């Protein structure tokens, strides 16, 4: 299995509080992704990174920011959590180029009350 961990695995927080989710990889892969999974929507891309300090928006980026200061860590921040951000969040990694497979972390279940 690809070395991807996510922390925390579960979190309950209140509306309006900031939340940061961490994705850590040991594969030295260039590309990292944050997805959210919601019933009836499958997985949707929030943000992705194509290198240290290089990030871009996905299809559902509003209300989220990301940072990548090291190859191995990709942080997802909810500046002011809302109930609509209650979801399961997945991190994925890829070496990119012709190696197109993405490997997923175990997911983080976030509940915003």
Partner 1 sequence: AQTVTQSQPEMSVQEAETVTLSCTYDTSENNYYLFWYKQPPSRQMILVIRQEAYKQQNATENRFSVNFQKAAKSFSLKISDSQLGDTAMYFCAFMNYGGATNKLIFGTGTLLAVQP
Kind and range of the H or E run holding 16: none
Q: Which is nearer to partner 1, 78 or 92 (CB)?
A: 92
- 1-18 in b/e form (b: 16+ CB < 10 A) is ebebebeeeebebeeeee
The residue ranges that bind partner 1 (CB under 8 A) are: 31, 33, 40-45, 48, 50, 56, 58, 88, 90, 92, 94, 96, 100-102, 104, 106-107
Instruction: Report the candidate in 90, 93, 75, 81 with the shortest Cα–Cα distance to residue 38.
Output: 90
Q: Which is nearer to partner 1, 20 or 102 (CB)?
A: 102
CB of 59 to partner 1, least distance (A): 9
Q: How many other β-carbons are positioned within 10 Å of the β-carbon of residue 112?
A: 19
Q: How far is CA 52 from the centre of its chain?
A: 15
Q: Which is nearer to partner 1, 26 or 80 (CB)?
A: 26
CB of 101 to partner 1, least distance (A): 6
CB of 62 to partner 1, least distance (A): 17
CB of 98 to partner 1, least distance (A): 9
Token couple for 33: 């992704």
């Amino acid at each position: 299995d690809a070395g991807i961990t996510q922390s925390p695995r579960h979190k309950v927080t209140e509306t309006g509080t900031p939340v940061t989710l961490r994705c850590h990889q040991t594969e030295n892969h260039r590309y990292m992704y944050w997805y959210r999974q919601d019933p009836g929507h499958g997985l949707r891309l929030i943000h992705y990174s194509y290198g240290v300090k290089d990030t871009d928006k996905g299809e559902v980026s509003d209300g989220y920011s990301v940072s990548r200061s090291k190859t191995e860590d990709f942080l997802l921040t909810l500046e002011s959590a809302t109930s609509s951000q209650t979801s399961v969040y997945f991190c994925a990694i890829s070496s990119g180029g012709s190696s197109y497979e993405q490997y997923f972390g175990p997911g983080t279940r976030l509940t915003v009350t």
